[in-house]
Structure 1
Amino acid sequence: MFLEIIQQRNPGLLEAGAFYHQQGKIDPNTYVIDVDAVAENAKIIAQSARKTNIELFFMTKQIGRNPILAHAIKEAGIEKAVAVDPWEAKGLATGGIQIGHAGHLVQIPKNMTESILHLHPSQITVFSYENAAYISDINGAMKKEPQPILLRVISKQDFLYPGQEGGILLENLEAELKRIETLSGVKVIGVTNFPCLQMENGGVEPTINFRTLQQAAELLKNKGYEAPVVNAPSLNTAETLEIIADEGGTQAEPGHALTGTTPLHAAKHQPERPAIAYVSEISHTYDQKSYVYGGGFYARSNVQTALTGENFSEMKQMDVIPNEPGTIDYYGALKGDQATVGNTALFSFRTQIFVTNAQVALIKNTDASPELMGIYDAAGNRLQ
């Protein structure tokens, strides 16, 4: 999906990945990430946020919750992280990263709530009165100030990804808000939903979910909330922050933009550079196909092509055969059996590293003299 773009805008990362694989410094099934490019992208997004008055929280699940990358993003100007689940929140906090947003998309389990509250998140999203109630109870027992919370508000017309369903129905919001307002240990500060932006006709437009957010925010204003938070994640890039601001959003959560791998980056030139590639190796050939070691492929990646060969300058492009849904990710397949066993295979596509068993190699100075900084697992733990 991004192989041609990264060849044009960051070929040094591909070349470094091939070199370190051929030298035996990185294994197949390893994502290589350009630390400098990630930091540059974060700086560009932070500058756009200041111009549009949008508050940012950065997402790390796509890049393996990596602490080195998290600190590079922080130093570039995005100070707090959003944690998609409580395990990410705990891991990032252990690495010295402040949590800006927890509980969205994954709610905080009851018996993990106290440990998350000890991290002092700026806000926690709740899907229900019940979730807000036990946060309130536990927070009250800790004798803390009321915990700021966002309400995830949805309508029956909204698009929700499978496995991400849940929230307070817009038609029930007024009644649920009244109940939640009785809880002394939490304080409602705004609303959220997902996804809030989408690609449409080559451009970016608000989703119906964003319209639900606007109605929810208006209801809060009518109830006396002067400036409710409107958290509008998905497709959050330097270019789309202006759209969010124009539509009344106040917060964004860049994730794929940090590696230059949103659908918008695939469709048109963007200020953020591609900063991630996947390195594998030809395992064997069979039935007019060439197979590479898997473990890091992602079903929604839309991967299309790969480069294979021993020397980067002589690599050949091959078409990818997408894995069937439900396939165990032992291997990936390429069309044709002309690849040489043991050669490097390079890919670039959208990923969610935290749901894979891939390794992550951090590389800096890809434009000059590449340096391998370290190798990590998909949860951000250093391996070597």
Structure 2
Amino acid sequence: MFLDVLRRRNPSFIEAAIRLHQEGRIPANSFVLDLDAVEENARLFRAAADRHGLKVFAMTKQVGRNSGFCQAIMRGGIDRAVAVDMACAVACDRAGLKVGHLGHLVQIPRFEADMAASRLRPDYWTVFSREKAGEAAAAAKRAGRTQDLMARIQTAGDTFYRGHEGGFPADKVADVAAMIDALDGARFAGLTTFPALLFDQEKRKVLPTHNLTTLARAAAALAKGGRGDIEINAPGTTSSIVLDILAEAGATQCEPGNGLHGTTPLHAVEDLPERPAMLYLTEVSHLHQERAYCFGGGLYIDPVFPDYDVKAIVAAEPTASAGALASVEIPSTSAIDYYGMIDTTGQVKPKTGDSVVFGFRGQAFVKRGFTVGVSGIARGEPRVETIENPFGVAQDWPELR
């Protein structure tokens, strides 16, 4: 889905990735990051957020919490992360990126709350229930601090992905705020939901969800009761050009993820300010009948898109040419993606060892691929900076660098 925009807007990235792979410096089954473009994207996103008065927390799960990525966005002016779970928070903290928001989307397990409060010390901590609020407050008290808690709220008509449900009733928001303020070790800081924005496939636009209206109404109710200075956290499908929607709805926080590497759904249909800075690279393993089999491990088609003809660049020499494109069959989500199957009946004739480049909207943290940060592409001197697993842990393959 993103290979076309990659070829048009960042062809040198594709060429550099193939060159480094063919030199033995990048392993097969790798989510590769153009760190120069990531830094550039972070800088323009930071500027846009500043114009709207929005705090920025970067989501790093899509790139496997890669430390090179974390450091690139810090150079671009974003110094806080939103952690999808504790593993994400620990990886960001290890990379030097402070945790700005914890507990959303995944709540903090009871026996990990002390580590969250004392070691990670997030700026904001989201809770879905009275019990989770109590655990966070108690852990913060033991750590000798007062924790700002965000309450996730919900009401009829709100959108949640299956398995993501949870939150306080929006019409009880005043009681929720009072309950949190009454906890020793906690302070009510504001409200959140997910998703506040979603890509509409038919209209090919990013539009507000009912959840964003729920946030605005709840904030108005709190203001009417004398609570006007609160945080409104509104994540989902965030690129720099949708920040005006969030600001107009009263949001004070935004959380770009795919936007920082140019792979939100809107990036696939429009040329947005952020350049594509992520690709998936693998290698042809063997040929069988009329298919060439490439190593998998990170093959991922985001379900936000309808089915489409998946293509990849297959080549032994650096290229972003359309002449190197071949159709590829990806295993269904019910199967382990040991291999992808490349069509060999067209003009591209794959050979064992050829590089294979896809343009996926990655979710590296749910796959088993490596994440690889590459610097110097912008000046024509590409260099591998990091080879890590999906938990942001460096892999001991120095000979590949």
2:68 and 2:386 in contact (8 A); partners too? no
Percent of paired sites with the same residue: 35
Where do residues 67-146 of structure 1 align in structure 2 (5 Å cutoff)? 67-118=67-118, 119-144=120-145, 146=146
Q: 1:149 offset after TM fit, Å?
A: 0.6
Paired residue type of 2:144: K
Where do residues 208-287 of structure 1 align in structure 2 (5 Å cutoff)? 208-287=210-289
CA distance in 2, matches of 1:140, 1:31: 40
Q: How many residues align?
A: 383
2:66 and 2:373 in contact (8 A); partners too? no
Paired residue type of 2:366: V
Match of 1:189 in 2: 189
CA distance in 2, matches of 1:375, 1:244: 35
Q: 1:287 offset after TM fit, Å?
A: 4.8
Match of 1:332 in 2: 340
CA distance in 2, matches of 1:222, 1:129: 23
Q: Does 1:47 align with 2:47?
A: yes
Match of 1:369 in 2: 381
CA distance in 2, matches of 1:195, 1:232: 7
CA distance in 1, matches of 2:10, 2:45: 19
Post-superposition CA distance 1:223-255 (Å, at most 9, x none)? 321122110101211111111101111110011
Q: 1:52 offset after TM fit, Å?
A: 0.8
Paired residue type of 2:282: S
CA distance in 2, matches of 1:134, 1:370: 47
Match of 2:24 in 1: 24
2:149 and 2:180 in contact (8 A); partners too? no
CA distance in 2, matches of 1:100, 1:30: 28
Match of 1:309 in 2: 315
Distance 1:163 1:290, change over 3 A: farther
Aligned partner of residue 87 in structure 1, secondary structure: helix
Aligned partner of residue 113 in structure 2, secondary structure: helix
Q: Does 1:347 align with 2:358?
A: yes
Aligned partner of residue 241 in structure 2, secondary structure: coil
Paired residue type of 2:124: Q
CA distance in 2, matches of 1:142, 1:80: 21
Aligned partner of residue 210 in structure 1, secondary structure: helix
2:128 and 2:167 in contact (8 A); partners too? yes
Q: 1:156 offset after TM fit, Å?
A: 3.0
Q: 1:334 offset after TM fit, Å?
A: 2.8
2:301 and 2:361 in contact (8 A); partners too? no
1:13 and 1:32 in contact (8 A); partners too? no
Q: Which aligned segments of 4 or more residues in structure 1 are displaced greater than 6 angstroms?
A: none
Structure 1 unmatched ranges of 5 or more: none
Q: 1:88 offset after TM fit, Å?
A: 1.3
Paired residue type of 1:375: I
Q: 1:210 offset after TM fit, Å?
A: 0.8
Post-superposition CA distance 1:121-166 (Å, at most 9, x none)? 110000011100111122223332x210100111232111122221
2:128 and 2:168 in contact (8 A); partners too? yes
TM-score, normalised relative to structure 2 = 0.91
Distance 1:287 1:210, change over 3 A: farther
Q: Which stretch shows the higher mean deviation, 295-304 or 27-36? A: 295-304
Q: Which stretch shows the higher mean deviation, 66-75 or 307-316? A: 307-316
Aligned partner of residue 371 in structure 2, secondary structure: strand
Q: 1:184 offset after TM fit, Å?
A: 2.2
Q: 1:363 offset after TM fit, Å?
A: 1.2
Q: 1:259 offset after TM fit, Å?
A: 0.5
Q: 1:174 offset after TM fit, Å?
A: 4.0
Paired residue type of 1:159: T
CA distance in 2, matches of 1:347, 1:299: 11
Q: 1:299 offset after TM fit, Å?
A: 4.2
CA distance in 2, matches of 1:346, 1:265: 18
CA distance in 2, matches of 1:142, 1:106: 22
Paired residue type of 2:102: A
2:33 and 2:374 in contact (8 A); partners too? yes
1:149 and 1:188 in contact (8 A); partners too? yes
Paired residue type of 1:295: G
Aligned partner of residue 292 in structure 1, secondary structure: strand
Aligned partner of residue 232 in structure 2, secondary structure: strand
Q: Which stretch shows the higher mean deviation, 53-62 or 38-47? A: 53-62
1:154 and 1:193 in contact (8 A); partners too? yes
Paired residue type of 2:285: S
Post-superposition CA distance 1:305-324 (Å, at most 9, x none)? 10112123376211232322
For residue 359 of structure 1, the aligned residue among 370, 373, 384 is 370
TM-score, normalised relative to structure 1 = 0.95
2:57 and 2:82 in contact (8 A); partners too? yes
CA distance in 1, matches of 2:171, 2:6: 45
Aligned partner of residue 187 in structure 1, secondary structure: strand
1:156 and 1:169 in contact (8 A); partners too? no
Where do residues 59-74 of structure 1 align in structure 2 (5 Å cutoff)? 59-74=59-74
